[in-house]
Structures are given as C-alpha cells and as structure tokens.
Copies of this chain bind each other. A is one copy, B any other.
Amino acid sequence: MSDKLMISRMGASVPDTIWVQGRNLCTELLGKIGFAEMTWLELTGELPSKAQTTLLEAMLLTLVEHGATPMAIATRLTYLGAPEALQGAVAAGLLGMGTTFAGTAEGAAKMLYAGLKDAPADADIDTIAKTIVDRELDAGRPIFGIGHNLHKPIDPRTPVLFAIAEQQGYRGRFVDLIEAVAAAAEARTGKSMPVNATGALGALCCELGLDWRLCRGLAVIGRSVGLVGHIAEEPRNPIAKQIWMHTEEEIARSVAIANAKQGQDA
C-alpha cells in the first residue's frame, strides 16, 4: 500500500470526545456558536469574527427560498415518488443548483478575483471593468452576475447585501468592481443591467476571501434549508401531484392541437 499519508483534519472521534476542526464539539461548540459560525468553521477551519458571521448569515439567507423554483418542484415531485427517503428529495432539488442558477455567483466571483489579481492598489476600477465587459461581450458571452429577467430595474437584494457588507466593514474593491462592471455593461449596451443577487453574492465571497468554488457551496447550503421547507409544506399544501397532472394534461392538449394543425396543413 502507498506510503503517502492520508490527511484530513475535518473531524475525529474517540469514545468520550468528538473533535470538529480540532475543537471539542461538546465543550467548545454546542451552545457556544451559531449555525452560521459553524458553517464558516467548516469552510475555513477558523471561527469567524462577528462581522464575518453577520455578513455570511445574510448571504446564506439570500438563496434559501424563491418559491416554486425548478429545484423546489423537483424536490416535491421526488418526495411524491419516494417519501421513505427525504434525503433523496432534497438531493434531487440540489442537483438543479448548477451553472444556470448558482453557477452565476461562482462565475462572478471567479471573474472578480481574476480582474483584481495583479492589480495594484491604485488601479483604475472602471478601466478594469470596461476591459472585462468588452472581452466578454466581444466573445458573445453573458456577464456573470449582471441583469435579471424579473427583478428590474434593480434586484432588491443587492443594495441590502451591500449595505450589510458596508456596516460590517466588508465593502471593498470587489464590490466596487462588480458595480463598475454593471455600469460599463449598461454604457455599452444601453440596457439596464444592474448587479443581481448572485453577482452580489459572488462579490461578497471575494470580500470574505472565500474560494470562488465555494460560492456554489453556500448556495447549496442555503437552498437545502429551503428544500426541506418545501417538503414540510407539501403535506399541508400538496401540489406535487397537481403539477404532474397539469403537465400531462397540458402536453396531451398541446400535442392534439399540433397534430390537428399538421392535419390541416397537409
């Protein structure tokens, strides 16, 4: 067998003690820290400051619930088929937290880190923003974290998140940069393209110094709460079976119309 060591410092257990990140779960953590602090501890190996905790809590809350999303529908349909396995219903919903939704926070954070990577302290943020916008739009790519189909002219979550960041001393150059990117995109396209909630989350991940890959992780953690919430509501307000039946009926109706139309055309 390989001589290479297999190191992990996440946790360990002996009969009378459970260690989490090198801390005693029972004497140092339970009843001493909150759930958001535990999240930070798991992600970084350190306990957060009060300011970091406050900002992280707001970020985690942002993506918990957004009504009948594709993820929430998938969870409720899966729970209908496999009520014995709540974990499977939550997993099914989380699987939709991909590039289309949560991936934009990740993409925004990656873009912001890259944009400021080698930038000197006095670099002109607007110039960097314009370079990013031109590069992405010239290549025909969307700019992560900018614009929203529903929330117009602004995404109401963004100013609240940035205000909390400012109160906690975490409004810095990454927030400046994404706001400059939004302004540059508006200037070039002539369309309203404000920073959306995933863009704000991406910028705040950078302000907190978290790996851009973990943006999606924060989205997954927050959404897991929301998906358990949907399972909790399903017995009170059952909608899964109706969504199924409506879909079958709508497809049958649509196919009949399409077939009749083909018949007429023939």
Query: Does A140 touch B at the CB level, under 8 Å?
Result: no
Q: Per-residue CB proximity of A232-266 to B under 8 Å, as 1/0?
A: 11010101101111111111101101100000000
Does A80 lie within 8 Å of B70, measured CB to CB? yes
**Least distance between A97 CB and chain B CB atoms (Å):** 4
Contacts of A250 in B (CB 8 A): 1, 6, 242, 246
Contacts of A213 in B (CB 8 A): 86, 231
Stretch at the interface among A31-39, A115-123, A125-133: A31-39
Contacts of A186 in B (CB 8 A): none
| Total chain A interface residues with beta-carbon distance under 8 A | 123
Contacts of A150 in B (CB 8 A): 13-15
Does B233 lie within 8 Å of A228, measured CB to CB? no
Does A61 lie within 8 Å of B85, measured CB to CB? no
Q: Per-residue CB proximity of A68-111 to B under 8 Å, as 1/0?
A: 11111110011011111111111111111111111100000000
Does B217 lie within 8 Å of A10, measured CB to CB? no
Contacts of A221 in B (CB 8 A): 224-225, 228
24 A–B contacts from the bound complex (CB under 8 Å): A5-B257, A10-B68, A10-B72, A10-B233, A11-B66, A17-B156, A18-B151, A18-B156, A25-B62, A30-B58, A31-B164, A35-B35, A35-B39, A35-B60, A42-B64, A42-B225, A42-B228, A84-B85, A85-B87, A86-B213, A87-B94, A88-B98, A90-B217, A211-B232
Interface residues of A (CB under 8 A from B): 1-2, 4-18, 20-21, 25-27, 29-31, 33-36, 38-39, 42-44, 54, 57-58, 60-62, 64-74, 77-78, 80-103, 150-152, 154, 156-157, 160-161, 163-164, 211, 213-214, 216-218, 220-221, 224-226, 228-233, 235, 237, 239-240, 242-252, 254-255, 257-258
